[in-house]
Every structure is written in structure tokens, then in C-alpha cells.
Amino acid sequence: KAGVTQTPRYLIKTRGQQVTLSCSPISGHRSVSWYQQTPGQGLQFLFEYFSETQRNKGNFPGRFSGRQFSNSRSEMNVSTLELGDSALYLCASSLDKASYEQYFGPGTRLTVT
């Protein structure tokens, strides 16, 4: 079956703009998590959604937000972009709350200029 898909794959934005990234989980998966990866900080957890509800949130400012739709697809939004937001944004899906495995998408490479 198809894996986790993320769109767009690459994005260039200017400081102060806002951006929306999309993630489609594996069919049947109900949990979606988002991570930010930068060379300096590594992989950092942003937030997790299950059945349209945010269950966990990492230590990121309120400019980072997300949501999940009834079909489990998820979006994350970053407002008032800063240069430091340049990163690879990864989405991962899991079957349900009891799953041990997360399946990651290829990521969206965001560059803020």
C-alpha cells in the first residue's frame, strides 16, 4: 500500500510569510505526528494528532500549529516565518494508539530567505 505522502516536497518562503504543509498518512492509520529536523538540533517533535485531536505537543512557539481532518490527513502551519524555521519537516503516521511503529514520509524541505 502507499506510504506516507507529504506535499510540497520543497518550498521557498520569505521571512514574515506563513506556510502550510500537508501530510497524508498510510491508509487506515489514525495517528499523525510532525517533526522538525535541522542540522543543529536534529529531529525534534512538534505535535501529534489522533482522531482529529492534538494529543501531544513539543516545545515550539505558538507560530507552529496543526490540525487533523476526519480522513486522518493532517496539515501544519507556520506563521510569521523566521530564518531559523528553515528545516526538513517530517510527518509520521501510526495505525492507532497501541502501535509501536511510526512510518515517516519523505519530508518537506522548507527554506526561509
Q: Does 100 bind another protein (CB under 8 A)?
A: yes
Here the cell at position 71 is 480522513
CA distance 99 to 62: 28
Q: Does 25 bind another protein (CB under 8 A)?
A: no
Q: Does 110 bind another protein (CB under 8 A)?
A: no
Q: 17 vs 41, which CB is nearer to another protein?
A: 41
Site of grid cell 492534538: 54
Q: Judged by CB under 8 A, which stretch of 14-22, 69-77, 78-86, 102-110 contacts another protein?
A: 102-110
Give 94-102's long-range contacts (Cβ < 8 A, gap of 24+): 94/29, 94/30, 94/31, 94/33, 95/28, 95/29, 95/30, 95/31, 96/29, 96/30, 96/31, 96/50, 97/31, 97/50, 99/31, 102/33
Q: Does 101 bind another protein (CB under 8 A)?
A: yes
Contact characters 37-76, another protein, x per CB under 8 A:
-----xx-x--x------xx-x------------------
Q: Which residues bind another protein (CB under 8 A)?
A: 4, 31, 33, 35, 42-43, 45, 48, 55-56, 58, 90, 92, 94, 97-98, 100-107
